[in-house]
Amino acid sequence: MRSPSSLKKEFLTKWVVGLRAWSSSSKEMGLLERKKAIKLSADVAMAAATNGTTIWSHTLINNASKDPNSKHMVQSILTSARARDQSNEPSKFPLLSPPTRCARNRVRSKKVLRKARINYIQRCSRRSAASLIAKTLVKKRTQVLKGLVPGGECMDESCLIKETLDYMISLRAQVLIMQHIAKVMELFNSK
């Protein structure tokens, strides 16, 4: 695992490249366009800083590269001069394919599932019914977590936990960098 300081440094350099690419491609931006540019470039820079080793980073980069307005910014982040200097090989993710470690996605009717669950509970004793309720709570929370992590919909539980931990570390680094930039800008504007 990388040290947090190197992750922050890599994120900051890629984020600056993304913001420069976005500002050079469009001259006049409104408030909402600026907000979108900052968020999108931060997400892509965060994903690129992990060197494309995670499913969530692949998903973020794929989703951003599908938008024709942000395609130039994504390409500039992925092929930044700093990334080429560190490794003399081509970009690790030109335009990535979707994650391949997807679990089977099943679509079932809620009524069918509810009826099967009720029948199963009625057949079980009270002790096993409690464990069934605990399992359903875990499944519900797992589904919520799958919705929060990019690309989480197609991950199994063990992969989801690893990806979530990595995503949380990257988000924390992103937030810390943005807080430091906000403090510096506040000090700069107060003088």
Confidence of residue 125 (pLDDT cuts 50, 70, 90): low
Model pLDDT, residue 52: 74
Residues 158-172: b if buried by 16+ CB within 10 A, e if exposed: ebbeebbebbeebee
Torsion of Cα atoms, 42 then 44 then 48 then 49, to 10° = 10
- Residue 32 CA to residue 22 CA, distance in Å, equals 14
Residue 183 tokens read as 């403090």
Cβ-Cβ contacts under 8 Å for 147 (sequence gap 6 or more): 153
190 pLDDT more than 50: yes
Residue 108's alpha-carbon distances to 54, 135, 140, 142, in angstroms, are: 29, 18, 15, 17
Model pLDDT, residue 95: 47
What pLDDT, in 10s, does the model give residues 81-111? 445 545 555 445 444 454 444 444 444 577 7
pTM: 0.71
Domain residue ranges of the chain, discontinuous segments joined by +: 4-99+151-190, 110-135
138 pLDDT more than 50: yes
- Residue 146 CA to residue 152 CA, distance in Å, equals 4
Mean pLDDT of the chain: 80
SS3 152: helix
pLDDT higher at 100 or 142:
142
